[in-house]
């Protein structure tokens, strides 16, 4: 058997190459471990942040639109305001059947019959025809709002219907209570069961918030 005699410089060279290979491999492993740990920390941080936010608040801006779309419509009689001056209050009085009554809404008048629209999204809670008030539609909205439309000549919705803001629900008309006003809409707005002056809320932005569980 023939022996191979290595030259004196070969063995040290092989040892150096082996040591360098081991060190290089160790460095690569450490780099990968550090990278994985960093990614895990970031993933843990982001996930924790999302999961810990149990009740994020979503703010929305909602505007109550006019109950009509005809730009020629105007106010015929205002809501009776207890804080207003006597002259303004006098113009907000309704006289019917030898009785004076305070106007609980706003009356909108027009020369021609005009479309009546829902001021907000909601559900129709009542549709009826009253001898004095004419055809009446009541719509319940979110946040305790209820809108009532009286003196309609036509009604396009029924009780239980879901309506969207701006949807036509009927047409203006006349009634016995405000016969002298002719063609008009009597509009009332309630918030948490309390009647309010509609003019203070129409075309005004309302801030609402909705809490959602994750």
How many helices (H) and strands (E) in the chain? 2, 14
Break the chain into its structural domains and give their ranges.
1-52, 62-211
Cβ-in-10-Å burial (0-12, 13-18, 19+) of 100 comes to: exposed
Each residue's pLDDT tens digit, 21-39: 556 555 555 655 555 555 5
Which CATH superfamily is 62-211 part of? Glucose Permease (Domain IIA) (2.70.70.10)
Element containing residue 39 per DSSP (H, E): helix 10-52
Each residue's pLDDT tens digit, 44-60: 444 443 344 444 444 46
Whether the CB-CB separation of 152 and 116 falls below 8 Å is answered with yes
Taking only the tens of pLDDT, the chain with its 214 residues reads 455 454 555 455 556 655 655 565 555 556 555 555 555 544 444 444 334 444 444 446 689 999 999 999 999 999 999 988 888 898 899 988 888 899 999 999 999 999 999 999 999 999 999 999 999 999 999 989 999 999 999 999 999 999 999 999 999 999 998 888 999 999 999 999 999 999 999 999 875 544 333 3
User: pTM (2 decimals)?
Assistant: 0.69
């Amino acid at each position: 058997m023939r022996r191979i005699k290595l030259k004196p410089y070969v063995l040290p060279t092989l040892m150096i190459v082996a040591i360098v290979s081991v060190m290089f491999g160790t460095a690569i492993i450490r780099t990968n471990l550090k990278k994985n740990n960093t990614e895990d920390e970031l993933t843990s941080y982001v996930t924790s942040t999302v999961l810990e936010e149990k009740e994020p608040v979503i703010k929305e801006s909602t505007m109550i639109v006019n109950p009509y779309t005809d730009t020629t419509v105007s106010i015929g009689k205002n809501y009776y305001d207890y804080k207003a001056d006597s002259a303004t209050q006098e113009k907000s009085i309704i006289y019917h059947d030898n009785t004076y009554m305070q106007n609980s809404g706003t009356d909108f008048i027009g020369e021609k019959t005009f479309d009546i629209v829902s001021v907000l999204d909601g559900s129709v809670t009542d549709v009826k025809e009253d001898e004095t008030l004419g055809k009446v539609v009541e719509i319940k909205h979110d946040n305790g709002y209820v809108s009532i439309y009286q003196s309609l000549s036509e009604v396009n919705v029924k009780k239980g219907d879901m309506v969207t803001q701006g949807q036509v629900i009927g047409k203006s008309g006349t009634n016995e209570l405000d016969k002298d006003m002719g063609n008009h809409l009597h509009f009332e707005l309630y918030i948490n069961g309390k009647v309010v002056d509609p003019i203070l809320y129409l075309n005004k932005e309302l801030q609402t918030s909705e809490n959602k569980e994750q």
